[in-house]
């Protein structure tokens, strides 16, 4: 769902780039009112987990690939506004440093994955897992919420891509940006996530929610952790070490093809403006492949380490600046009275 440069025309990307700025401003104001200092590490951990999980590409029929996002999980733990900031930070780092997603399309990618996903996921989860819900109900609700949220975001991506031939084309009708019409783009994005990637998002979310319910259930009530987060940090480290598995999936996600792939693999003429915009940004570590490392698997792992570390640091700093002060004096669990 990382839309590259050149796939959206200015009629679309300018609007979404402009729209994401006030959303970030509102999110910062909301997080400033609700985030507790003791929740700062969890927010940083959530952002880094989203960054890393997006590196695990999964194959689908037709040679395409996709990945989970983790936005709904963060929203369940910290609320949708904190999730919006967390996933946005991960997406911006992916675009700027690794060329995963375009620079002109940062607003679109953040709107789709960091706004639509956590908000839909959060409210679907709350609708199903009302106050006092059992652990089983919470786990099931998290899976349904994650599935619905990624399906909604993917469908929106299809709409954005499919509108381009209508919004911008030559006198002869040739598209200038994304080449596929609305019915093709929407169906391709919807079907892939309906059949494949939605289930991955759901199962991953359910697994983590189930583990949290056993290890530290207060996190599912959007409260600061009652226990150490060391086990979650260990889990993140394990995910980072396993990221080379994400290279096993062959192919490119639908709608994320390079100019070379459009001509050599798909055998279609590259739209003129798409080709121009495709080279607007040169990432320092394109495709998560550091130029100073020969082995691609080792390079992918190093990129995961660099990206997750940078995501943690930036999110931690932003969250620390926003977090409420002097709000950690009340214990999260009742203290037994003295005998």
Place of tokens 């691609």: 296
- What's the whole-number mean pLDDT along residues 256-281? 89
* pTM of this structure: 0.94
C-alpha span between 56 and 300 (Å, rounded) = 11
Cβ burial of 95 (10 Å; 0-12, 13-18, 19+) is buried
**Res. 332: pLDDT tops 70:** no
Query: Of the given ranges (107-116, 187-196, 298-307, 320-329), which has the lowest mean pLDDT?
Result: 320-329
Band (pLDDT 50/70/90 cuts) for residue 164 is very high
Domains observed in the chain: 10-322 (1.10.1760.20)
| Contact of 4 with 161, CB cutoff 8 Å | no
Q: What is the pLDDT of residues 172-199, one digit of tens each?
A: 999 999 999 999 999 999 999 999 999 9
State how far the alpha carbon of 38 is from the alpha carbons of 78, 175, 214, 308, in Å.
Answer: 12, 51, 20, 20
CA 50 to the chain's CA centroid? 6
**Res. 326: pLDDT tops 70:** no
Phi, psi of 59, deg, nearest 5: -75, 155
| Contact of 64 with 254, CB cutoff 8 Å | yes
| Contact of 295 with 31, CB cutoff 8 Å | no
Instruction: Determine how β-strand 58-59 pairs with β-strand 65-66.
Output: antiparallel
DSSP string, 52-66: HHTT--EE-TTS-EE
Band (pLDDT 50/70/90 cuts) for residue 325 is low
Q: What is the pLDDT of residues 7-50, one digit of tens each?
A: 999 999 999 999 999 999 999 999 999 999 999 999 999 999 99
Band (pLDDT 50/70/90 cuts) for residue 315 is very high
Query: Of the given ranges (54-68, 217-231, 295-309), which has the lowest mean pLDDT?
Result: 54-68
| Contact of 74 with 295, CB cutoff 8 Å | no
C-alpha span between 233 and 70 (Å, rounded) = 16
**Res. 330: pLDDT tops 90:** no
Does residue 169 sit in helix, strand or coil? strand
Cβ burial of 331 (10 Å; 0-12, 13-18, 19+) is exposed
List the alpha helices (DSSP H) in 99-178: 106-110, 117-128, 135-167
**Res. 103: pLDDT tops 90:** yes
C-alpha span between 224 and 35 (Å, rounded) = 9
């Amino acid at each position: 769902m990382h839309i590259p440069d050149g796939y959206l025309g200015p009629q679309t990307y300018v609007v979404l780039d402009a729209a994401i700025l006030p959303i970030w401003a509102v999110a910062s104001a909301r997080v400033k009112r609700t985030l507790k200092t003791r929740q700062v590490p969890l927010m940083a951990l959530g952002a880094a987990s989203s960054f890393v999980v997006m590196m695990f590409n999964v194959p689908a029929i037709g040679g395409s690939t996709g990945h989970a996002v983790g936005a709904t999980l963060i929203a369940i733990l910290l609320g949708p506004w904190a999730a919006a900031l967390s996933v946005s930070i991960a997406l911006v780092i992916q675009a700027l440093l690794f060329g995963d997603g375009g620079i002109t399309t940062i607003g679109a990618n953040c709107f789709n994955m960091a706004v639509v996903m956590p908000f839909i996921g959060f409210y679907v989860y709350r609708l199903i897992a009302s106050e006092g819900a059992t652990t089983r109900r919470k786990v099931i609700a998290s899976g349904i919420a994650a599935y619905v949220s990624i399906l909604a975001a993917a469908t929106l991506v299809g709409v954005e891509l499919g509108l381009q031939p209508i919004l911008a084309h030559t006198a002869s009708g040739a598209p200038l940006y994304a080449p596929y019409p609305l019915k093709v783009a929407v169906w391709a994005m919807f079907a892939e996530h309906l059949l494949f990637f939605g289930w991955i998002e759901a199962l991953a979310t359910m697994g983590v929610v189930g583990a949290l319910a056993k290890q530290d259930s207060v996190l599912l009530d959007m409260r600061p952790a009652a226990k150490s987060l060391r086990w979650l940090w260990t889990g993140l480290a394990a995910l980072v070490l396993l990221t080379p598995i994400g290279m096993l999936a062959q192919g490119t996600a639908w709608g994320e093809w390079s100019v070379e792939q459009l001509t050599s693999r798909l055998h279609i003429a590259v739209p003129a403006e798409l080709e121009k915009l495709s080279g607007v940004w040169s990432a320092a570590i394109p495709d998560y492949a550091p130029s100073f490392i020969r082995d691609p698997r080792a390079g992918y792992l190093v990129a995961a380490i660099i990206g997750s570390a940078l995501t943690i640091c930036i999110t931690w700093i932003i969250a620390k600046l926003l977090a409420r002060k002097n709000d950690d004096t009340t214990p999260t669990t009742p203290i037994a009275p003295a005998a």
